[in-house]
């Protein structure tokens, strides 16, 4: 399969392009072996990316998942806290898209280079 943005060859089951980070529409590609994978989010993470990964997997907003998780963590038996820790250990982290990895850490600070 080719990425429609950068035109590079990527795996048929990829949700994101390895090179430019563009989200791929695998359903239109006609890939019969497409299978969703639950992965911790590398981009949408507050603590470990578990809620962001679940939100990407389910196709909903990560804030909604975080609110549900907080409410479940407050309930007396506390299974949500244990489930979060287990998911943190077991669920693999998603690869960082190239567009997010190439951004400088201090994007708001001016550069020190002098104009020529």
Q: How far is CA 54 from CA 15, 20, 70, 72, 83, in A?
A: 15, 23, 14, 15, 13
Instruction: Tell me: do 52 and 88 sit in the same domain.
Output: yes
Task: Determine the pLDDT at residue 104.
Answer: 57
Q: What pLDDT tens digit does each residue of the chain (116 aa) get?
A: 788 888 888 777 777 787 887 887 755 545 455 577 888 888 888 888 898 889 888 888 989 999 999 998 898 888 888 888 998 999 888 887 776 555 555 555 555 555 55
Q: Do the domain assignments include residue 109?
A: no
Q: Where are the beta strands (DSSP E) in 1-116?
A: none
Q: pTM score, two decimals?
A: 0.55
Residue 1 lies in a domain: no
Q: Say what the pLDDT of residue 67 is.
A: 93
What confidence score (pLDDT) does residue 29 get? Answer: 46
Which residue segment(s) compose the domain that 31 sits in? 10-36
């Amino acid at each position: 399969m080719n990425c429609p943005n950068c035109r590079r060859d990527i795996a048929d089951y990829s949700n994101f392009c390895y090179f430019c980070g563009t989200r791929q529409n695998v359903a239109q590609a006609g890939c019969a072996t497409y299978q969703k994978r639950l992965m911790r989010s590398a981009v949408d993470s507050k603590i470990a990316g578990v809620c962001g990964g679940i939100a990407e997997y389910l196709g909903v907003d990560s804030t909604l998942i975080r609110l549900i998780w907080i409410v479940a963590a407050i309930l007396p038996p506390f299974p949500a806290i244990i489930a979060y820790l287990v998911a943190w250990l077991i669920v693999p982290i998603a690869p960082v898209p190239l567009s997010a990895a190439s951004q400088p850490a201090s994007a708001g600070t001016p550069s020190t280079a002098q104009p020529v």
